[in-house]
Amino acid sequence: MTQLEIDENCTRRELLDRGYDDSAIWRALGRGDIDRIGPGLYAPPHATLPSREALYVERVKLWARKLAPPPLRPVDRALADVSAAAVLGLPLWGLPTQRVVASDFTRPPGTRQSRVVRLVTDRRLRDTVTVGGVALPVTAPARTVVDIARRYAKTPAVAVGDAALFTRLCTVDDLHRELDLAKGMTGAGRAREFVGLMDGRAESVLESRSRIEMRELQLPTPTLQHEFLTAAGTCVARVDFYWPEFRLVGEADGTVKYQDPSVLRREKERTDRLHELGLRVVRWGWATLNDREAFAQRLLAMMNAPSTSFTGTHLAG
């Protein structure tokens, strides 16, 4: 048998179908000819994946090939839940990525799961889409959002819904139609509550989480994505959060945003323009948001400070 070499990710079953046995797979792993990226999943040597999310997407695609029926057989399954979100490009922050999740449209009600796969019977009218490079259909975006809202915590669910609305994968009306179809299903009530909190103006998970934290902390409600215009109608800046009653701008900044010096320079110029309009600017990142009490105290301090006392501030992290 020839030495085991691969140039794309594949499953154990695919390697066995090519004529290799488990001993050949183990020898290839020992020599570094292939890398193991999950249970029964292998990649070319030294393949690098940038994040947990990207690794999960690869695992989902590989398992979709394993779960797909033979040619000419009916397709009775679809990627669902977190797995559907992954291949649709929706954020996975705060969601479990241990298992690949699929809906089964023909089996008796219930859930079957192994260490790596969870199959959930779905008796609703099928609503699926196809995604390039994925061997199984995928539950439609609105159904994916509602299913995640039924099963998981508020903030991750809202972040998924925000992203689906922002990218126009679905509309609010689509979500409400799915909520109607989910009546009587486990978690339908909470899903309706969470959908009511979703907002397509959020441009990142950090913005979504910030908005939910503000609500939970009972802070004044900001205007989202507010634009400041000149007398001629030219946009000076569009900001993440704005409290007009305090003349306060809030910016949720991820760490990647300012690694490019040119981006940093443009952001400084933008902030200067906001200061020239008599606005105060407060920024925060993930680390700040993780300290809920400090986040609340800092925002309240800025809201309650005399407008002449600040020209701007930065929350580290």
- The CATH number covering residue 219 comes to 3.40.960.10
- Does residue 269 fall inside a structural domain? yes
Q: Which of 16-25, 104-113, 291-300 has the lowest mean pLDDT?
A: 104-113
Same domain? 79 vs 122? yes
Q: Which of 103-117, 118-132, 228-242 has the lowest mean pLDDT?
A: 103-117
Three-class SS state of 237: strand
CB 42 within 8 A of CB 11: yes
Same domain? 243 vs 186? no
Long-range contacts from 305-310, C-beta under 8 angstroms, 24+ separation: 305/280, 307/246, 307/247, 307/278, 307/280, 310/280
- Please tell me the predicted confidence (pLDDT) of residue 255: 57
Q: How does pLDDT run across 68-78, given as a tens digit for each residue?
A: 888 878 889 99
Per-residue pLDDT band at 268 (split at 50, 70, 90):
confident
CA angle, 177 then 206 then 117, to 5°: 60
Per-residue pLDDT band at 306 (split at 50, 70, 90):
low
Per-residue pLDDT band at 208 (split at 50, 70, 90):
very high
- Does residue 272 fall inside a structural domain? yes
CB 152 within 8 A of CB 137: no
Q: How does pLDDT run across 133-166, given as a tens digit for each residue?
A: 898 999 999 999 999 999 999 999 999 999 999 9
Q: What's the domain count of the chain?
A: 3
Same domain? 190 vs 169? yes
- Does residue 112 fall inside a structural domain? yes
Final residue of a domain: which of 195, 225, 243?
195
- Does residue 1 fall inside a structural domain? no
Enclosing domain of residue 135: 52-195
Same domain? 66 vs 117? yes
Of 308 and 166, more confident: 166
Final residue of a domain: which of 195, 217, 237?
195
Average of per-residue pLDDT across 213-241: 92
pTM (global) more than 0.75: yes
Same domain? 255 vs 153? no
Same domain? 39 vs 91? no
Per-residue pLDDT band at 31 (split at 50, 70, 90):
confident
Q: In this model, does residue 309 exceed pLDDT 50? A: no
- Does residue 273 fall inside a structural domain? yes
Same domain? 180 vs 210? no
Tell me the H-state helices in the chain.
12-17, 22-31, 52-67, 81-88, 141-151, 154-166, 172-181, 188-195, 205-216, 261-276, 286-290, 292-304
Alpha carbon distance 206, 285 (integer Å): 8
Alpha carbon distance 77, 121 (integer Å): 9
CB 302 within 8 A of CB 246: yes
Q: Which one-letter DSSP state was computed for residue 118?
A: E
Same domain? 29 vs 164? no
Same domain? 25 vs 76? no
Three-class SS state of 186: coil
Same domain? 172 vs 84? yes
- Does residue 238 fall inside a structural domain? yes
Same domain? 19 vs 125? no
- Does residue 114 fall inside a structural domain? yes
